[in-house]
Amino acid sequence: MISVAEALDHLFSLADPLPSETVPLRAAAHRVLAQDVAATRTQPPFDASSMDGYALKSVEADLHAQFKVVGEAAAGHAWDGTVGPGQAVRIFTGAPVPAGADRVVIQENITRNGDLITITDDSDTKSNIRPAGADFAQGTRMTAPRLLSAGDVALLASMNIAEVPVTKRPVVALISTGDELVVPGETPGPDQIIASNTFGLAALLERFGAEVRILPIARDNEASLKTVLGLARGCDLVVTIGGASVGDHDLVAGVAAGMGMEQSFYKVAMRPGKPLMAGRLNGTPMIGLPGNPVSAMVCGTVFVVPMLRAMMGLPPAPAPQVKRTLSAPLGPNGPRAHYMRAIMDGDSVRDAGAQDSSLLSVLAAANALILRPPGDPARTSGDLVDVIML
Ligand code: AMP
Ligand code: MG
């Protein structure tokens, strides 16, 4: 049995980086930037007014000073002249500041009478001008790899980058195994249950950028498993669920080995999720997840998502952890790392109740996992613990 960290290292070495593709900006959110891109323009491209007011010469902007309004500049409508001594230009937010002016006096501090304005309040001493290039200059780079946020997409748009090089979305084949399983919406027999893991995992992996193909349920016989594993051809990652323990009906490792899988590990010292397996099947990385619903989902968070992120070109890293304060005591942990379903509330966290790995109701009520290292002693309220947010 290997540690979680060792298992992750194996998975990262199985995670071949995916090629890149170019997508329209509109499709770039939550994708990973694959190559550096450079701004094709400067923003703002001109000195721009940040307020509605009057553009004039700052040396003349004294209390009670008067100016003649000689023109108007609005966003998208520059005034082409030059502001002379004693002159002002009516200006609005986003308009280019005309030549000769270096100050915008806000309209609240002005009284106007026909073409004449008077400064009635000099308490605002700001220029109210955004200099050209204040945001970025032409050639400014956004560096890869980078998981593109909504803010990044706005920045790319402002840089006038309409096509974005991103890493290909990893195509993940999800295979549930078991004679007892039917898909949601079907009528299960008296000894059957609904396949839940596939759907939970699909939702999880899609949220982190995968394109998930849910393959037909493989039955607990060699022929069925072989057929369905064969359908996974062309995917970037094969994820099986269940059939990974040592029961008479747990066939995944044996069948995959018969099809040529080179196993890189089997069994991880963790709870839930001990019977985790990984390797390479005909060149394609494969992870065998345990069947218990909570185990499968926890392993999805702890192993599959970090592996997907590495395949998308992000630096290999475990699921992000934060420190939180326990609001209820915890008993001592055993020899395996324990990922406890937990409820985080602000800065504090407590276990979410029964930790049996079949209880999806507890998982759904949880919003975090408390991470207990092997052999962690009993903990009391107020102790700091590591937490993974779900
Ligand atoms: P296994 O690893 O195949 O022995 O499965 C362990 C437990 O998880 C059994 O109770 C299975 O019925 C259940 N199980 C396996 N696969 C799924 C699935 N896709 N959805 C829900 N439960 C599952
Ligand atoms: Mg099974």
CATH number at residue 376: 2.40.340.10
For residue 9, report the distance from its CA to the centre of ligand 2, in Å.
27
Query: Which of 255, 280, 311 is the last residue in one of the domains?
Result: 311
User: How many domains, the chain?
Assistant: 4
* CA-proximal residue: ligand 1, atom 16 (nearest): 291
* CA-proximal residue: ligand 1, atom 14 (nearest): 291
Q: Would you say residue 47 has pLDDT above 90?
A: yes
CATH number at residue 124: 2.170.190.11
Query: Which of 71, 101, 130 is the last residue in one of the domains?
Result: 130
pTM reported for the whole predicted model: 0.92
Instruction: Calculate the alpha carbon distances from 350 to 325, 368, 388 in Å.
Output: 8, 9, 13
For residue 292, report the distance from its CA to the centre of ligand 1, in Å.
5
As for ligand 1, residues whose beta carbon falls within 6 Å of it are 176, 178, 180-181, 193, 195-198, 241-245, 247, 250, 290-293
For residue 189, report the distance from its CA to the centre of ligand 2, in Å.
16
Do 27 and 154 sit in the same domain of this protein?
A: yes
* CA-proximal residue: ligand 1, atom 10 (nearest): 292
Q: Would you say residue 249 has pLDDT above 80?
A: no
Q: Would you say residue 287 has pLDDT above 80?
A: yes
Q: Would you say residue 51 has pLDDT above 80?
A: yes
Q: Give the span between the Cα atoms of 54 and 51, in whole angstroms.
A: 9
Domain interval for residue 330:
322-389
Do 354 and 250 sit in the same domain of this protein?
A: no
Q: What was the pLDDT predicted at 247?
A: 78
- For residues 216-237, average pLDDT: 96
- Ligand nearest the Cα of residue 247 is 1
Q: What was the pLDDT predicted at 250?
A: 81
For residue 55, report the distance from its CA to the centre of ligand 1, in Å.
71
Ligand 1, from 181, 192, 201: best to mutate by most atoms within 8 Å of Cβ? 181
Q: Would you say residue 244 has pLDDT above 90?
A: no
- Flag whether 317 is in a domain: no
Do 78 and 123 sit in the same domain of this protein?
A: yes
ω into residue 165 within 30 of 0, thus cis? no
CATH number at residue 152: 3.90.105.10
For residue 255, report the distance from its CA to the centre of ligand 2, in Å.
14
Q: Would you say residue 246 has pLDDT above 80?
A: no
Contact (Cβ atoms closer than 8 angstroms) between residue 370 and residue 351: yes
Which of 123, 75, 80, 130 minimizes the C-alpha distance to 102? 130
Do 269 and 356 sit in the same domain of this protein?
A: no
CATH number at residue 186: 3.40.980.10
Tokens of 131: 């200099």
Q: Distance from CA of residue 126 to its chain's centroid?
A: 38
Do 149 and 26 sit in the same domain of this protein?
A: yes
- Flag whether 116 is in a domain: yes
Do 200 and 299 sit in the same domain of this protein?
A: yes
Q: Would you say residue 289 has pLDDT above 90?
A: yes
Q: How many CB atoms lie within 10 A of CB 233?
A: 11
pLDDT in tens, 88-132: 999 999 999 999 999 999 999 999 999 999 999 999 999 999 999
Q: What was the pLDDT predicted at 248?
A: 79
Q: Would you say residue 245 has pLDDT above 90?
A: no
